[in-house]
Structures are given as C-alpha cells and as structure tokens.
Amino acid sequence: MNQDNTTLSKAEIIAILQGSEFIIYLHNGEKRLGHIIDAGKFYERTVKYFPDRFKDCTNIPQVMAEASLGFEGALNLTGEDGGVELD
C-alpha cells in the first residue's frame, strides 16, 4: 500500500473502509456501533454528497477520520443503500 505520502487511490481507500466499524452519535443523542458492509457503495455515496471527503487522504487514520464524518450522513441520506449498517 501507499508508502510515500501520496494520495491514496480509490481502490486503496475502499479496501481500508471495507468492514470498518464506527461509534456513531445519532441526531437524537443515541450512541450506536455501526459498520460498513459495502465499502464501494459507501465511498460512492459519500463522494456524491461530499466530493472532497477523501481527496487528500494519504494514510489509514486519515481515511478513517474522513469516513466517520460521512458515516451518519450515509445512514441519514440513504438508509441501507448507503452501504452501512447499525449493529
């Protein structure tokens, strides 16, 4: 994987995201664990609404931070179609 601080490719980002788990704070204040069940769908849905979300990611922690920002948005905008699921 990326060794030289260049921006990660779409395929690399999707590979990092697949199966990732997040603790999500929902709008009603509830805290839930969720995970990405379809990273390709999650990636496409996220960049559709937030085009620059993964634009400059160069490492795994950065990808995870950007994904956590888009996770609740994917749930709210698309439900199951966002490639995410609450446990």
pTM: 0.78
Coil, strand or helix at 20: coil
Beta-carbon contacts of residue 18 (< 8 Å; ≥ 6 apart): 36, 39
Looking at residue 3, its pLDDT comes to 56
pLDDT in tens, 34-79: 888 899 998 998 898 889 999 999 999 999 988 887 776 666 654 5
Asked whether residue 86 carries a pLDDT value surpassing 80, the answer given is no
Q: 2-30 pLDDT, tens per residue?
A: 556 799 999 999 999 998 888 877 777 88
What are the two backbone dihedrals, phi and then psi, of residue 82, each rounded to the nearest 5 degrees? -85, 0
In degrees and rounded to multiples of 5, residue 81 shows phi and psi of -70, -10
